[in-house]
Structure 1
Amino acid sequence: MLPAPGNATRPAEQHDRAETPREVLAAYHAHQGRTGRGNSAFTGAAKAFLRRWPYVQDWAAEPLRVQLSASTATRPFLTFLLVTGRLRPSWEYLVHRKFSSLWRDLPGTVIGQDVQEFITAARAVGYSERVASAMASQVMARVLFATGKRLDQVTHDDFDALAAAGQARQEATGRTWKHYRACATATRTVLFHHGVLPAPPAPWEQRWPFARRLGGVPEPMHSILVRYLDRKSVTCKMTTVSSLATRLAHFGTFVTTLEADLTPAGLDRVTHIEPWLVALTRTENTRSGGLLSVPEQARRILAVANFFTDITEWDWPEAPLRKLLYASDNPRLPQPLPRFLPPAADQALTQALADSPNRLAADALLLQRACGLRIGELVDLELDAVIDVPGAGSWLKVPLGKLDTERMVPIDTETLTLVDRISTTRSPGRPLPHPRTGRPADFLFTAHGHRLSQSRLRAELDRAAGAAGLGHITPHQLRHTYATALVNAGVSLQALMVILGHVSAEMSLRYARLFDSTVRAEYERALSLAKSRLGPLPTPDHATDEPDQDHDWRTTPTIKTALAGGYCLRAPAQGPCAYANLCEHCPAYRTTIEHIPVLTAQRDDAAALAQDATDRGWDAETERHLRLISRLNTHIEQAATRRTPA
């Protein structure tokens, strides 16, 4: 007989012998008493089952159709046998059977204790009670039923067996196993953080091998391209090689439709390459449904050109016999400016993220906006990323990212508070393997025991943008917005390069083109010159009986400025002068007691002009005159104590 399973609830003296049907039936009656579910139909079904299979484990050897044919009265007895460890069915049965009444049968059993321990562990990494219970019933209980192990004894192999049975069910019946597969991955993650499994599970969605990615390319071109991609994997990131696979697969498929047994050495410029270049402009983008963008066309041409160059340098016998692609084959690329968010949109999005119920993802996006990070750099941040330097404030250590460079970004107290809040809302657990190095790392953004994904961040950004009444926004626009704010604040090109992690000035100069101060100065100069040619100043629009009133410059409907040696009049269409009273406000301006009468007269004129501006509703002009009056009072006070230079 099989050894008693670890989850058995039978007395210790019965572990070394098979239970009699009477003993099993008595235990079932006791179980019915605890759950309050007993009736004559259930008892009759149990007796009939025990007459046919006195040793209950023999039932597990029956064909699946026999096992699934159990009546509604027999299934409660089968569930009793499972939760008490008396029966260990096949994986095949478990993935076909539903356990709707499981929670009424688990209390008081060893398996029930293990299931509750699992739920507690799932809650500790951030799952809700409902989701944790679903994981326990859909996956964890099935693993315990099939293996007879205690919770701390299960292994990755047990879950692999469950997945294989689920996949077999999907192929046999067409009923998808996708939901259970994702649930099993989450269950493994919980057990990893609970200390049961030695490593977290691999993502259930894996990249296809190159041989499958290029399955539409016939031999011998297929083997040549696969060998090339394997070689590039030595020196390039996997994401880079994956993109190469997509672009080379299209090229290989196209040229081999022209001639099936082609190799690179047999390619001809006129016969093969030029038709492919033309076809690129008509190729569909499988994601958007439109045509390939011009930048993507250029990337595909570059990928093929590099393929030819590399295999030629490596002396591959299949290398082309002559140059096939030229610089003139590359389409002219558009030069778009960085897509930053205007201030109003930036504020609306920030508020929507601040009000978000999805705190971890929303705070991650707020941190990206506050530090100008790429999304890959954001999700790779670790708990110890903040470094305090005495006398130099706090800095954020940005990990290796797109360009394989680390950098330090200065952060303010508000951003530091944001990082502290993230540290309290992330899910705790054991360190996770770093995707780049494999070393254990405490990542800053963890949810439900695994790293926060880029797709979840994009989904939250879409939700917040919709709540703010904005259109589609990409995470990289937050980086553009951060850089634009630095440019507007006058940051130097060198500092911008360091903060953004750019390795060339050309990358940062894209932002400098947004708001060029020289262009602005030239615009202001030209606009002032144009406004000076608007025509004669307006005349008063009302008559007066006061003598010389028509010649009083202070009553004209113009923008007026009192000067120490005269006055300035500007048409309202010209706007205020940017240089009005510049000298009086300059720190280098000096005066003496002899000039007090002139300054006093200028102050009186300014007071009259302030009242005139108030009457006309020109609030900004009123403020300007009042600031001048305050400045003149200061000059008069200082002049009264300063003697004329000898």
Structure 2
Amino acid sequence: MRDPSLVSPVPKGRDAQRFVPGEKTGLLAYLVRKPRPRSALRLREPRRLPRPLAMSEAARLLASLRTWRDRAIAGLMLYCGLRSCEVLALDVADVDIGRGWIRVWGKGAKERAVPLDADLARVIQGYLLIERPESGSARLFLVAKGPNRGQPLTAAGLRTIFRYHRQLSGVTAGHPHALRHSFGTALVNAGVSLQSLMALLGHVSAQMSLRYGNLFDATARTEYERALTLAKDHLAALPTTPAGTKALPLADITGGADWTDTPALKSRLAGGYCLRAPAQGAFPYANICEHCPNFRTDLTYLPILAAQRADARKLADDAQRRGWITEADRHHKLIARLDNAIADIQKSAG
């Protein structure tokens, strides 16, 4: 008998498909394996229609998600119609929470702008402030734990997340693309126009482009907001916090400390304050009103301006300690502007 430890001389697999030198041009070239000619007949296979999730299925799937990151991922597919590859390709800078837009890079490196739902924006903001690990990566969604913590989430990692929650929720059809199908189906049932649906889903074809022309972002957003209000009756509600409330859990963000001491980018406004994750960068229009030449104030607002100035001083010192020089300069500019406004009020009051 042949020794089982010896390698068989008969090639298998890919090795069996390779040609040795001279096989194509030698005396035995006529024996070379040739592909069989394809028949001109073609069998048209039936194309299956995309199956959206029922509202109860989507609700069970969303209820099984426990982290801000996973809810944000599912929300981008269910409320914005993004593909899984588009979700994974998002950078932090692509999500403009203040203006309510997402910059998406679709198939063929085509860029489109998709409106951002307010409930979903709160979920993404919660993920950025509470869960997203510190990382040098610009990607929005990162691995949360394990040896690859802080690395961009991969397609295999996303499949693992959905596979686990399909088993947990019992929704066997809860694949990522099913959420996108649910979004498209709900908008169609809500009466959204074909042009807007193409713009939102990133469906581009020569026929459609020639037939319907281009669509402005404002038109798509108007259609999106109108249709999504109606479509939410057929889509599962997106839990905006792990506790099921609408507001961000400020205690979880601050850890019980004062908001001026949190490791976040902070802006003191006249009527409140703004918190952003360091990966997002400072909001460029946070104190635009105070710096506007048309800004006017009087003696009745003096206590509010004084309180705002005191907090701005704390924020400037906090940013200086953390080495955020640009942030410290931004707060110092606000302090100088408030000093001028307070001085003008006191001068006019005599």
Q: Which range, TM-score by smaller chain? A: 0.3 to 0.5
Counting helix residues as a fraction of each chain, which structure ranks higher?
Answer: 1
Structure number with greater Rg is 1
Q: TM-score, normalised by structure 1?
A: 0.27
Greater relative contact order: 1 or 2 (C-alpha under 8 angstroms, separation 6 or more)? 2
